[in-house]
Structure 1
Amino acid sequence: MIGYYAHHHGAGHLTRLQAIAGAMNEDVWGLSSTPAPAAWTGGWTQLARDDDPDPAALSADGDPTAHGVLHWAPRGHLGLARRSAQLANWVVEEHPRALVVDVSVEVAVLARLCGVPTVVVALPGARLDRTHQLAYDSAEALLAPWPRGTHDRDWPSAWTAKTWFVGGISRFDHLSPSPPVVPPSTHGRTVLVLWGAGGRTTTAADVDAARAATPTWTWVERVPGVPGDGSIWEALASADVVVTHGGQNAVAEVAAARRPAVVVAQPRPFDEQVATARAVESRQIAVGLSAWPSADEWPDLLERAISRGGAGWAQWSTGHGAAVAAAHLRTVGLPSPLPA
C-alpha cells in the first residue's frame, strides 16, 4: 500500500490523487485535511488542521517558518501537533511502502523521518529556496505533472535525474477531445472562463468589461465542483476559446480537451501560476499572461488564441500522465535486489 497526501487548498491536489489512484493496481491510502471525496473507496485519514483559527495571526505571532527553515510550522499550535501524531501513527499502523506528497515540505520531511520513502509532486514556480530543497533532496523521486524542460531548466542535476516527467494529469484524460469548433463566421463564438476553487483576484467587473469589449463573443463562466454548474467537459468541448487561470488542474483539463486558450495567472506563492502562463506562451501552446489584461486587449487576445489552435496541448499532456505516474510508483519503496 502507498499513501498519498493531498493539500487542502483548492481542488487540484485531490483531483490528481483520484486520477493516479484510479490507475494503480494496489491500495492507495489518502491523507488530507479535507474529508474523503464522495467516490473514494480506499483508506482515508482526515488530518487535523494546522492553519486555524487565523493563518494571518499565526504568521504574525507563531514563527511558522522556524526562522526560515520551513514553510508552515507555527509554534504552540495543537492542530499541528495532532496532525503530526496522526501521520506518525498511520505509518506505524499501516506500514506504507511510500508516500506521495502533493504538497507539503513538512509532511514530506516528517514521513521520511518515520522511515517512509517519499515522492514529492514538483510544482511550477521558484522552488530553489532552502525549504523546497530539503523536501526535494530527501525525496526518493519527484513527480512532475508537466513536460520536461518546462520548469526544471534551473534545477540541480540531481533533481532532474530522479524526476518523472509525466505531463499534465486530468480527470478527463480518458475522454476523446472534440474536433475544433469552426463557426460559420466571426459571430456566435463562445468563450469559456474556467475558474478554480483556490480563489481569484479577477473580479466580476473585470470579466464584464472583457465581455463588453468583445460583443461578437458569448462569455460563459464555470467553477469546477459547484453544484448545478453543468458538465465542465461539455463546456470545454463546445468552447471556441477557454480563458483559464494558471492552476495545474485547470491547465491539464484544457490540455485534455485540446482547446485554444488564454491562460491568465492568478497570484499564488512562488509565482506558480505566472510560471505556467509563461511556459505555455513560450512554447506557443496557448496565450499566456501574468495578469488579467485591460478590456481593450481582449479582442486581439481571443483571435491570437484561435490562430494558435489547441493542437499544441499535445506537448503538455499525452493523456496518459496518471498511468505513467502509477507505473513509476509501483517500484518505489520495494527492497533492492541483492547482488548475485
Structure 2
Amino acid sequence: MIGYYVHHHGRGHVTRAAALLPHLPADVEVTGLSTLPRPAAWPQLWVQLDPDADDDPFELPEDATAGGTFHWVPRGHPGLRSRMSTISRWIDATRPDVVVVDTSVEVATLCRLHGVPVVSLIQPGDRTDPPHTLGLGLAERLVAPWPADVADVVLGVATDDPRLVHVGAFSRFDGREPDASATDGPHVVVLSGAGGSALTVKALEHARRTTPDWTWTVLGGPDGTWVDDPWSALCRADVVVTHAGQNALAEVAAARRPAVVVPQERPHDEQRTSAAALAADGRLPVVVLEEFLDDGWTDVLERAATLDGAGWAVWNDGQGARRLADVVLEVAGRDGA
C-alpha cells in the first residue's frame, strides 16, 4: 500500500498526484489522502479528510505553530484533530509501505512517528525555517520536481544530500501529442492558477487594448474561464503568460511554448525563487517579469515569441513522473513498473 497526501492549496498538487498513477504497477494500491474532494479521474482509494483551516485565514488561532516548530497545529482545533486521527487510523488499518507527502510538515512528521517511511516532494523557495528543517530532515527521500542542473531553486536542502533525487518537472500532459490547430494572427494565452493571483481585470483589459495585433485568451483568474484541460489552448499559443507555480510551468513546458513568467506572492518566496532560477539559467524559453506590466506588452510578447519552445526540454523531458514512481517503489521495497 502506498499513501499519497495531497495539499489542498490550488489544483497543482492533486494534478501532480494523478500524473504519478499510470507509472505504478497495476497491482500497487494507492490511497489519496486530502481535504480536497476525490478527483473524478482518480481511479484508486481516497480518504476524505476534514478541513483543518479556519474560515478566516487572517485570524491566527492560538499557538498555531507550537512555538515555531510546525506551520499549522493550532491548539484545540477540531479540524486538525480530526485530520490527524483519520490519517492515524488509516495507517493502523492499512500499514502502508510508504507515504508520499506533497506537501505538509505535519503529515510527514505524523507518518514517520508511526514508523512509516516518507517520500517528500520539496517546493522551491526558502525552506530554511525550523518546520521545514524538521519535516525534510525525517524524509527517506527528497524529490525535487525540477532538473538538477538548474541552480538555486531551493534553499534549505543541500545539493549533496544523498536523499535528494531530482526527477525533473512533470505534468498530466507529458507524452501527449501537440494540438497543431492554427489561429488567426499572434495569440497569447494567460494561464492563471486556482491558488490565488494578484492579476486584475483592469490590468488584463489594458494589456489587450495596448496589443491590438494579439488575440488574448484568459484561462482562470479574475477575467477568465477555468478549463479543466487547457492542452489545446496552450498548444495554439504563440506565447503563454503564466505565474511561476510548479504545475503551470510543467504544463507550459510539456506544450513547448515560449512563456512570459510573472511570479505571484507565495509563502517562502516560492514563485519568485522559481522565476529567478528560470531567468538565470539562460537555456529556457522564458521572459521573466517582476510583476504584470502596465505598459510595454507588445515588446515583451514579441521578444518571447522569438524564443524556441523546444528549450523547455531542459525543465521537463517527459520522464519526471516515471522517475518519481521509481523512487516511491524503491522506498516501498517494490520492483519498478
Query: TM-score by structure 1 length?
Result: 0.90
**C-alpha distance after superposition, 1:28-73 (max 9, x if no partner):** 110000111112221111111110232322x1x4221111111111
Whether 1:290 and 2:290 are equivalent positions in the alignment is yes
* 1:313 partner letter: W
Whether 1:200 and 2:197 are equivalent positions in the alignment is yes
Residue equivalent to 2:210: 213
Residue equivalent to 1:29: 31
SS at match of 2:296: helix
Distance 1:279 1:98 in 2: 31
SS at match of 2:306: helix
Provide structure 1 residue ranges, at least 5 long, that are not aligned to the other structure: 336-340
- 2:261 is matched with which residue: 242, 263, 269? 263
8 Å CA contact 2:8, 2:35 repeated in 1? yes
> Bigger shift: 303-312 or 66-75?
303-312
How far residue 229 of structure 1 moved from its aligned partner, in angstroms, is 3.8
How far residue 153 of structure 1 moved from its aligned partner, in angstroms, is 6.6
Distance 1:323 1:255, change over 3 A: same
> Bigger shift: 302-311 or 246-255?
302-311
SS at match of 1:4: strand
Distance 1:211 1:278 in 2: 26
8 Å CA contact 1:136, 1:159 repeated in 2? no
**C-alpha distance after superposition, 1:77-114 (max 9, x if no partner):** 01101111011111100110111100010011111111
Distance 1:230 1:122 in 2: 25
Distance 1:152 1:207, change over 3 A: closer
SS at match of 1:160: coil
How far residue 159 of structure 1 moved from its aligned partner, in angstroms, is 6.4
Distance 1:159 1:53, change over 3 A: farther
Whether 1:320 and 2:322 are equivalent positions in the alignment is no
SS at match of 2:125: coil
SS at match of 1:157: coil
How far residue 155 of structure 1 moved from its aligned partner, in angstroms, is 4.4
Provide structure 2 residue ranges, at least 5 long, that are not aligned to the other structure: none
**C-alpha distance after superposition, 1:293-332 (max 9, x if no partner):** 22x2211211221122212111100111111110111110
Residue equivalent to 2:63: 63
Distance 1:54 1:242 in 2: 34
8 Å CA contact 1:172, 1:253 repeated in 2? yes
Whether 1:250 and 2:248 are equivalent positions in the alignment is yes
Distance 1:27 1:204 in 2: 44
8 Å CA contact 1:195, 1:223 repeated in 2? yes
Map 1:81-92 onto structure 2 (within 5 A).
81-92=81-92
Distance 2:314 2:255 in 1: 13
8 Å CA contact 2:153, 2:274 repeated in 1? no
What CA RMSD, in Å, does the superposition of the two structures yield over aligned residues? 2.2
Distance 1:119 1:326 in 2: 11
Distance 1:74 1:265, change over 3 A: same
8 Å CA contact 1:137, 1:159 repeated in 2? no
8 Å CA contact 2:126, 2:154 repeated in 1? no
8 Å CA contact 2:125, 2:154 repeated in 1? no
Distance 2:11 2:248 in 1: 10
Distance 1:208 1:65, change over 3 A: same
SS at match of 2:143: strand
* 2:293 partner letter: P
| Matched positions, count | 327
* 1:50 partner letter: D
Distance 2:137 2:151 in 1: 20
Residue equivalent to 2:147: 147
8 Å CA contact 1:214, 1:298 repeated in 2? yes
8 Å CA contact 1:33, 1:48 repeated in 2? yes
How far residue 227 of structure 1 moved from its aligned partner, in angstroms, is 7.6
Residue equivalent to 1:174: 175
**C-alpha distance after superposition, 1:198-235 (max 9, x if no partner):** 111110111111111211111111139x9884841110
Residue equivalent to 1:162: 163
Distance 1:315 1:35, change over 3 A: same
8 Å CA contact 1:167, 1:318 repeated in 2? yes
Distance 2:236 2:157 in 1: 42
8 Å CA contact 1:278, 1:289 repeated in 2? no
Distance 1:230 1:171, change over 3 A: closer
8 Å CA contact 1:142, 1:159 repeated in 2? no
Distance 2:116 2:324 in 1: 18
Distance 1:230 1:4, change over 3 A: closer
* 2:328 partner letter: L
SS at match of 1:110: helix
Residue equivalent to 1:338: none
8 Å CA contact 2:153, 2:273 repeated in 1? no
Distance 1:43 1:120, change over 3 A: same
Map 1:93-104 onto structure 2 (within 5 A).
93-104=93-104
